[in-house]
Amino acid sequence: MGDSGSALTISGSYAQDLARFRQVFERCADVVYRSFALDSGRNGTFIFIVGLVDEQRLEAECIRPLMREEARGFAPSRGPLPDPADFLHADRSESETDIAKAAEAVCQGKAALLLEGERSVTLVNLLKWDKRAVEEPASEPVIRGPRDGFTESLASNLALVRRRLATTDLKVELMRIGDRSKTSVAVVYLDSLVLPGVLKEARERLSRIRIDAVLESGYLEELIADNPYSVFPQLLNTERPDRVVGGMLEGRVAILTDNTPFALVAPGTYVDSLQASEDYYQNYIVSSATRLLRFWLSFSALVFPSIYIAVTTFHQEMIPTSLLFSIASSREAVPFPGIVEAFVMEAAFEGLREAGIRLPRPVGQAVSIVGALVIGQAAVQAGIVSAMLVIVVSFTGIASFIFPIYAQGLALRFLRFPMMLLAGTLGMYGLFLGLLALLIHLCKLRSFGVPYLSPLVPLQADGMKDSMIRAPWWRMVLRPQETGKRNRRRIRAGSRPGPPSGGESGG
Amino acid sequence: MIRISRFQLFSMLILFQLGTTILFGFASGAGRDAWIASLLSALLGAAIIAGYLALFRMTGGLTLVEWFPALFGRWPGTIAAWLYPLLFLYDAGRIVADIRFLFPITILSGTPDWVIAGSFLIVVVYGLYAGVEVVGRVAGVLFPVVMVFFFLEIVLLVASGSLDAHHLSPVMAEGWGRVWNTVWPLGITQTFGESISFAMIWTYIARKNGLAGTTLAATLAAGAIIALTDVLGINGLGEGVFRQMTLPSLALLKLPSLADFLENLDALGVIYLVVNAFMKLSLHLLSVVLCVRRLTGAKSDRWIIPAAAAAAFFMGMTMADSFTDHLEAGFRNLPLQIWVPLFLVLPAAALAVAGIRKLGNAKGENPS
């Protein structure tokens, strides 16, 4: 009661409480105070943030009903005052007595109703802000497959997931991370499939985070990864709801973060990052061939320039004679050693790529023209690089963009440079040494306890059906071993289609 | 918890036993009968390894360095046990010396040997810090890779018509003499006797029931692969060259010429060399680390690993002045003076003690 003792609670004195709110929201120009007077003579104010609250609904569904009902309900002759929340048509409302908490709720987009004579404020949920429509994911386009991608709104992202899994088995756990940002983070999983260990680990690691703000799921990814010193992405990040759901069906946990279209899937392995969700929709034979191609190209993206450097600098005898002549003649005019030449070109290529992302759209044309000159005939004619290297760099460039998960491409594109350095100093020996070190690192790496190279290392015969190749659905009777330990069967055995057997075959 | 699958054990053992020796032409002293000598060595080697396995089982799954204190009593046993980390360290030093001499004469003629050995050891140390399990996984990746390349090599050699099967006959023309001379003592102690290192690793195998079968199968498979490389070498190079050359396996890689495009396979040689040397050096140093940790009761490997690696590096760099010196020591002195006592005599004694104890126990228990 004594308002000096609990300065932060609603005192019941309208003017005093309003002043307190104004004090809390001092210098917050985006806070709106919508005051009104009721027939009974009582004053009220809605406090909300402009742009987060649907003002039309506020008017029609909160203020107008209050005014209409008030005359009847609040007439002085009828006993105690009813709860003002009963008159509001808003979908969700709650009452709050703590001013600081109420102010926080206002910051999260609720409207606070302060009414004269009430000892609490009513928080009304009338969220509405401008958001992007569901669009095709920009970073993971497909030919065949759903075109809807996550947006920045957690609620609509969750709806996209729920639409694909219409079951109570789909669990969504909400938490808020970030002392200042209070970002909503949803841990989403299928209760009967998820590995309890992974789920527990995900919850624990997320709840351990103490940070002031989370602006993107990348923050969380870095804070919950198994090995903080690795260049490889240890959780899958994807914009595609079908991919997230596919992961959950294999017993994984998805982490959706508000304000970003990128969801995280844990655990994520190297093999996963070479699989596109389209692989599962297309013909399995073609998909298998595509996957093999991706494996081969991912390796090329890593070592192709290094092999060029090592072979031209140290091991000319390894090149077939006829090829050696054409390389030698194309390198004739080039004044630099192989490694300098390759570094210049690779750096130019990476620069172009970065410029391509960063540049404002109208200048795009200019960069592509210049790019064609830099990595092209002009550079060769100027005698800076050899024609052979232009081919090597272009091929590597193409190969480094085949990753369905962009972050994995980043990792390998970065690792190309140390490899080139090793090849330039120790030749093939250096290159193999580098690969060996990389292999050790990858064998050591784990994502939420699952070996990063599984199912290749440790080798699991059953896992081969969905790694380098994609077996037809009727062969993938069981879920992957590492993540789908519980409830392994996912399709009825013997689902292979065939012509109808028996009587009608005579026709 | 550390777990190594049987496939990983199999891979580790084969790569370990192929080692760098395979490049030198295993048992090339036996000329065109080298492959017979290899197979014989593998068979006898498998018998010796079966003895180690028996000891492992009879001591109830103890590691190598725990056998001797358990069987010979605390002090004499501990002293005997300490010989093994020293031996493994010396063997690791020999691999470093192999690396130091082999890379400059094969593919990196101008690079200083300490750079090569040093960079190699850095990677090995990285692997050791990652632990037994990771070394096992790496082996599980590298073994299929090496086998694919080996298969490719055979196909290319055959397709290019570089092989001539007549070089193999007449079989055993000069009798058992030279075959036996390569089998004893070098053939069975190098690689096969050295597999006693795995007595430190067996304890990490996830399922112990297939252990003996996997180990012996790997040994015989390694023997078969070694014999096959010998056959390829003899067929491709002829007996005289095969016997004289230091590195017949690498010379063989220069033979294929297919459609004027695939002309030589030196890159494969580098892969074999790097992979096999890596596995052998890692497993030797790993055994050193595991032995020292068991013997001293150290909690962590943090200081043992760099110390062992540094010791191996300095030994490797200083133990021989020239490649010839290095080979001389390896082929002449080492087998009889060091390997036979440590790989055969001591374990045999231990096996005898264990056997007698077992008999004693059985007799002691029966009357009561």
In this structure, are A261 and A324 located in the same domain? Answer: no
- Domain ranges, residue A444: 288-451
A20 exposure class (CB count in 10 Å sphere: 0-12, 13-18, 19+): buried
Least confident of A87-96, A148-157, B68-77, B232-241: A87-96
How far apart CA A481 and CA B41 sit, in angstroms, is 41
Please say if the pLDDT value at position A231 is more than 70.
Answer: yes
Using CB atoms, pick whichever of A428, A451, A453 lies closest to residue B270. A428
B263 interaction partners in chain A (CB closer than 8 Å): 320-321
Tell me the residues of A at the B interface, defined by beta carbons under 8 Å apart.
314-315, 317-318, 320-323, 426-430, 432-433, 436-437, 439-441, 443-444, 451, 453, 456-459
Amino acid at B351: L
Contact B274 A429 (CB under 8 A): yes
Specify if A273 maps to a domain: no
Q: Which residue has the tokens 């009963």?
A: A86
Spatial CA neighbour of A110 closest among A183, A18, A47: A47
In this structure, are A165 and A229 located in the same domain? Answer: yes
Residue A20 has, within 13 A of its CA and on its CB side, a CA count of: 23
In this structure, are A99 and A223 located in the same domain? Answer: no
Please say if the pLDDT value at position A150 is more than 80.
Answer: yes
As given in the structure block, the two tokens for residue A142 are: 């497909």
Cβ–Cβ under 8 Å, residues B264 and B254: yes
In this structure, are A161 and A259 located in the same domain? Answer: yes
Spatial CA neighbour of A302 closest among A388, A422, A385, A218: A422
Cβ–Cβ under 8 Å, residues B156 and B258: yes
Using CB atoms, pick whichever of B111, B115, B134 lies closest to residue A444. B134
Region A434-443 average pLDDT: 95
User: Integer distance in angstroms from the first to the last C-alpha of chain B?
Assistant: 41
Specify if A68 maps to a domain: yes
**Which strands make up the sheet holding A43-49, listed edge to edge?**
A31-37, A43-49, A111-115, A121-125, A92-96
A170-177 and A236-238 strand pairing:
unpaired
Contact B141 A457 (CB under 8 A): yes
* pLDDT tens sequence across A234-247: 999 999 999 999 99
Residue B102 has, within 13 A of its CA and on its CB side, a CA count of: 29
Residue of A429, A467, A468 to mutate, interface with B, max B Cβ within 10 Å: A429
H runs (alpha helix) in A225-335 = 241-249, 270-273, 284-313, 321-331
Contact A440 B141 (CB under 8 A): no
Query: For residue A472, what are the CA distances in angstroms to A340, A455, A463, A488, A494?
Result: 47, 18, 13, 17, 12
Axis crossing angle, helix B6-18 with helix B211-244, rounded to the nearest 10: 20
Domain tally, chain A: 3
Specify if A149 maps to a domain: no
As given in the structure block, the two tokens for residue A13 are: 């004195």
Specify if A8 maps to a domain: no
In this structure, are A304 and A444 located in the same domain? Answer: yes
How far apart CA B106 and CA B98 sit, in angstroms, is 12
Contact A428 B8 (CB under 8 A): no
Query: Domain boundary at A268, A300, A331, which?
Result: A268
**How many C-beta atoms surround the C-beta of residue A391 within 10 A?**
13
A443 interaction partners in chain B (CB closer than 8 Å): 130, 134, 137-138, 141
In this structure, are A316 and A383 located in the same domain? Answer: yes
Contact A320 B261 (CB under 8 A): yes
List CB contacts of A504: < 8 A, sequence separation 6 or more: none
List CB contacts of A457: < 8 A, sequence separation 6 or more: A442, A443, A451, B137, B140, B141
Specify if A118 maps to a domain: yes
List CB contacts of B266: < 8 A, sequence separation 6 or more: A315, A317, A318, B106, B107, B250, B253, B254
Check CB contact of B140 with chain A, cutoff 8 Å: yes
Region A153-168 average pLDDT: 94
Query: Domain boundary at A125, A146, A163, which?
Result: A125
Residue of A428, A446, A456, A460 to mutate, interface with B, max B Cβ within 10 Å: A428
Check CB contact of B2 with chain A, cutoff 8 Å: no
Contact A440 B140 (CB under 8 A): no
Using CB atoms, pick whichever of B130, B140, B261 lies closest to residue A440. B130
Spatial CA neighbour of B253 closest among B235, B236, B275, B278: B236
A461 interaction partners in chain B (CB closer than 8 Å): none
Query: Could you tell me the domains of chain B?
Result: 6-347 (1.10.4160.10)
Region A196-204 average pLDDT: 92
Quote the pLDDT of residue B104.
87
Residue of B126, B133, B134 to mutate, interface with A, max A Cβ within 10 Å: B134
Query: Domain boundary at A415, A435, A451, which?
Result: A451
Q: Give one DSSP letter per residue of B298-355, joined into a string.
A: -S-STTHHHHHHHHHHHHHHHS-SSHHHHHHIIIIIHIIIIIIIIIIIHHHHHHHHHH
Cβ–Cβ under 8 Å, residues A154 and A184: yes
Specify if A489 maps to a domain: no
In this structure, are A314 and A421 located in the same domain? Answer: yes
Contact B141 A320 (CB under 8 A): no
Please say if the pLDDT value at position A1 is more than 60.
Answer: no
Contact B137 A322 (CB under 8 A): no
How far apart CA A233 and CA A401 sit, in angstroms, is 16
- 3-state class percentages of chain A: helix first, strand second, coil last, to nearest 5: 45, 15, 40
Check CB contact of B251 with chain A, cutoff 8 Å: no
As given in the structure block, the two tokens for residue B61 are: 């799954």
Provide the ipTM. 0.92
Query: For residue B191, what are the CA distances in angstroms to A124, A163, B49?
Result: 78, 61, 11
Specify if A61 maps to a domain: yes
Using CB atoms, pick whichever of A318, A458, A459 lies closest to residue B266. A318
In this structure, are A318 and A351 located in the same domain? Answer: yes
A441 interaction partners in chain B (CB closer than 8 Å): 126, 130
Q: Could you tell me the sign of the dihedral formed by the alpha carbons of A115, A120, A122, A123, in that order?
A: positive
Region A188-214 average pLDDT: 93
* pLDDT tens sequence across A268-311: 999 999 999 999 999 999 999 999 999 999 999 999 999 999 98
In this structure, are A387 and A328 located in the same domain? Answer: yes
Please say if the pLDDT value at position A425 is more than 60.
Answer: yes
**How many C-beta atoms surround the C-beta of residue B44 within 10 A?**
17
Q: Which residue has the tokens 């055994």?
A: B287
Quote the pLDDT of residue A464.
84
Check CB contact of B115 with chain A, cutoff 8 Å: yes
Contact B108 A314 (CB under 8 A): yes
For residue B99, give the chain A residue with the closest CA: A429
Cβ–Cβ under 8 Å, residues B270 and B175: no
Check CB contact of B145 with chain A, cutoff 8 Å: no
Residue of B4, B141, B265 to mutate, interface with A, max A Cβ within 10 Å: B141
* pLDDT tens sequence across A323-381: 888 888 888 888 888 899 899 889 988 988 888 888 888 887 777 788 777 777 888 88
How many CB contacts within 8 angstroms connect chain A with chain B?
Answer: 86
Check CB contact of B264 with chain A, cutoff 8 Å: yes
Contact B260 A426 (CB under 8 A): no
Check CB contact of B90 with chain A, cutoff 8 Å: no
In this structure, are A410 and A381 located in the same domain? Answer: yes
Please say if the pLDDT value at position A41 is more than 80.
Answer: no
The DSSP code for A500 is P
Please say if the pLDDT value at position A71 is more than 70.
Answer: no
Region A69-81 average pLDDT: 56
* Bridge partners, A34 (sequence order): A46
pLDDT in tens, chain B (368 residues): 578 888 999 999 999 999 888 888 787 778 888 889 999 999 999 999 999 999 998 888 888 888 988 888 888 899 999 999 999 999 999 999 999 998 888 888 888 999 999 999 999 999 999 999 999 999 999 999 999 999 988 888 888 888 888 888 777 777 788 888 888 878 888 888 889 999 999 988 877 788 899 999 999 999 999 999 989 888 888 888 888 888 888 888 888 777 666 667 778 888 888 999 999 999 999 999 999 998 998 888 888 999 999 999 999 999 888 888 888 888 777 878 888 888 888 899 999 988 888 888 876 655 44
Q: What angle do CA A231, A236, A239 make, to 5 degrees?
A: 125
How far apart CA A240 and CA A245 sit, in angstroms, is 9
Q: How confident is the model at residue A2 (pLDDT cuts 50, 70, 90)?
A: very low
As given in the structure block, the two tokens for residue A352 are: 């172009």
Looking at chain A, the whole-number percentage of residues with pLDDT higher than 70 is 94
In this structure, are A387 and A297 located in the same domain? Answer: yes
In this structure, are A79 and A175 located in the same domain? Answer: no
The C-alpha torsion from B342 through B347 and B353 to B359, rounded to 10°, is -170
Cβ–Cβ under 8 Å, residues B325 and B235: no
Specify if A283 maps to a domain: no
Q: How confident is the model at residue A452 (pLDDT cuts 50, 70, 90)?
A: very high
Quote the pLDDT of residue A337.
87
For residue B5, give the chain A residue with the closest CA: A458
List CB contacts of A352: < 8 A, sequence separation 6 or more: A367, A371, A374, A375
